[in-house]
Amino acid sequence: MSSLKSSIVITSIFAPTKAVKKFATLADYQLVVAGDKKSPAHWSTDNVTYLSVADQEAMGMQMSAKLPYNHYGRKMMGYLHAMQQGAQVIIDTDDDNIPYEGWDFPAMEGNFLTSKSEKGFVNIYKTFTKQHIWPRGLPLDLINSKAHVLQEEDLQSQSSKIGVWQGLADGDPDVDAIYRLVDNTECFFDNHEPVVLAEGTLCPFNSQNTAFRQELFPLLYLPAYVTFRFTDILRGLVAQPIMWLHGYRLGFTKATVLQERNPHDYVKDFESEIPCYLHPNRVIATVQAALDPAVSVADNLYNAYTALEKEGIVLPDELELLSLWLADVKSLT
């Protein structure tokens, strides 16, 4: 995929980390780091475009004035910068995800092992490991369900247009606070072929090692008025029905990064994740009912959040910020 013009986007409040410095050595990618008010005043490292708060405010983007400070959503200013620079693929990662040698994503179109359709939520981690582990955002009633694990014999090679690739993370992967509080065993995933989810089969995906194609850039929107640990999970839940409607699929690849996770308070994480435990099925049903095959990806994203606001899952402020985001994206793409 490195033949496409690709940007890697990170937000960070720390001095340049081991992960940032390693990503900065990848010659085929532009690395953009969006700072925040807590970031070091003189943040700098080679081969990185660093956007200070002042730089972000000077970009002329409408959403800048409403986007909260000291918030993960600052990453969106990095996305907009990447769009300004003509990125065809935008790759999300974090400052504690260290790329392995050969880090990359598969092509956005091709033949891939693909699940059966209409299976609902599945635990993709169990396709890549025998360890009892599940991704953050998986409905809790499914964590022990064998029926919601993809079987090898049910995976068939099919041609797909991939909208989003999620690469897994070794070491301390993206799991919920319940896993960390009751087990917290490290996980190193198997070297399995990429797996694509067919329409109606879904799994939470995050913002830690994730590639979006240009046609779906509106779906990069990170809701900024929900809890921190729900932000990227909600984004991924909203995105999947929209992707299906427009002919795109979600794919998962083997682990291509090692996460050496920044310090967390697991009980605070649990509190922040409560919407992840309560709402995933409602989110999918609400979004699917709101979509219109006759309108664009961007318009369907707005329709989805309008319906989520009526359901009380997001606040009116979210719709205001989303409107500004969509106007900014439209001006750049």
Q: Could you read off the pLDDT of 101-118 as tens digits, one per residue? A: 999 999 999 999 999 999
What are the residue boundaries of the structural domains of the chain, listed by start? 96-332
Instruction: Check: CB of residue 66 under 8 Å from CB of residue 321.
Output: yes
Asked if residue 193 has pLDDT above 90, the reply is yes
Asked if residue 186 has pLDDT above 70, the reply is yes
pLDDT at 279: 96
Asked if residue 333 has pLDDT above 70, the reply is yes
pLDDT tens-digit map of 206-249: 999 999 999 999 999 999 999 999 999 999 999 999 999 999 99
Asked if residue 263 has pLDDT above 90, the reply is no
* Average pLDDT over all residues of the chain: 95
Asked if residue 294 has pLDDT above 60, the reply is yes
Q: What percent of the chain has pLDDT over 70?
A: 98
pLDDT at 261: 75
pLDDT at 2: 55
pTM exceeding the 0.85 threshold for the entire prediction: yes
Kindly give the interhelix angle for 228-245 and 266-278, rounded to the nearest 10 degrees. Answer: 30
Instruction: Check: CB of residue 309 under 8 Å from CB of residue 290.
Output: no
Tokens of 73: 């959503």
Q: What average pLDDT does this structure show over 144-155?
A: 94
| Pairing status of strand 120-121 against strand 201-202 | parallel
pLDDT at 45: 92
| Residue 264 confidence class, pLDDT cut points 50, 70, 90 | confident
Distances (CA, A) of 140 to 112, 240, 276, 320: 29, 19, 9, 31
pLDDT at 213: 97
pLDDT at 41: 87
Lowest model confidence (mean pLDDT) among 40-49, 156-165, 277-286, 310-319: 40-49
Asked if residue 262 has pLDDT above 80, the reply is no
